[in-house]
Chain A
Amino acid sequence: MSLVLLLNIVCTQQVVNAFFYEQYAKVIVFAGLNLVLFPIAVWIYRRERNVE
Chain B
Amino acid sequence: MSMHEEEKKTKSTVPYDEDNYTHNIRKDNERKLDRRSFLKTMVGAAGVFAVSTLPWGTIAAKHLINPSKRTYPVSKIADLDLMKVGDAVEFAYPGEHDSALLVCLSDNEFKAYHNACTHLKCPVFWSKEKEELVCPCHHGLFDVRTGKPTAGPPKRPLPEIELSVEKGSVYATGVKKYEAQL
Which residues of A come within 8 Å of B, CB atoms? Answer: 1-2, 4-5, 8-9, 11-12, 15-19, 21-25, 27-28, 30-32, 34-35, 37-38, 40-42, 44-45, 48-49, 52
Contacts A19-B60, A45-B39 given: A38-B50 contact, CB under 8 Å? yes
A42, B63: Cα distance in complex, Å: 32
A1 & B42 in contact (Cβ 8 Å cutoff): yes
B9 at the A/B interface (Cβ < 8 Å)?
Answer: no
Output the least CB separation between B105 and chain A (Å): 27
B40 & A8 in contact (Cβ 8 Å cutoff): no
A8 & B45 in contact (Cβ 8 Å cutoff): yes
The number of inter-chain residue pairs (CB within 8 angstroms) is: 90
Which residues of B come within 8 Å of A, CB atoms? Answer: 35-36, 39-40, 42-43, 45-47, 49-50, 52-54, 56-57, 59-61, 63-64, 177-180
Cβ contacts under 8 Å, A28 to chain B: 57, 60-61, 64
Closest to A30 in B: B53
Output the least CB separation between A47 and chain B (Å): 10
- Given A8-B46, A37-B50, 14 more A-B residue pairs with CB atoms under 8 Å apart are A4-B42, A15-B53, A21-B179, A21-B180, A24-B63, A24-B64, A27-B59, A28-B57, A28-B64, A32-B57, A37-B49, A42-B46, A44-B39, A44-B43
B53 & A38 in contact (Cβ 8 Å cutoff): no
A22, B61: Cα distance in complex, Å: 11
B60 in complex: contacting residue of A4, A24, A41, A48, CB < 8 Å: A24
* 15 interchain pairs, CB-CB under 8 A: A8-B50, A12-B52, A15-B53, A18-B60, A21-B178, A24-B60, A27-B59, A31-B60, A32-B57, A37-B49, A41-B42, A44-B43, A45-B42, A45-B43, A48-B35
Output the least CB separation between A19 and chain B (Å): 6
Output the least CB separation between A31 and chain B (Å): 3
B42 & A5 in contact (Cβ 8 Å cutoff): yes
A15, B87: Cα distance in complex, Å: 40
A27, B52: Cα distance in complex, Å: 13
B57 & A48 in contact (Cβ 8 Å cutoff): no
A19, B59: Cα distance in complex, Å: 9
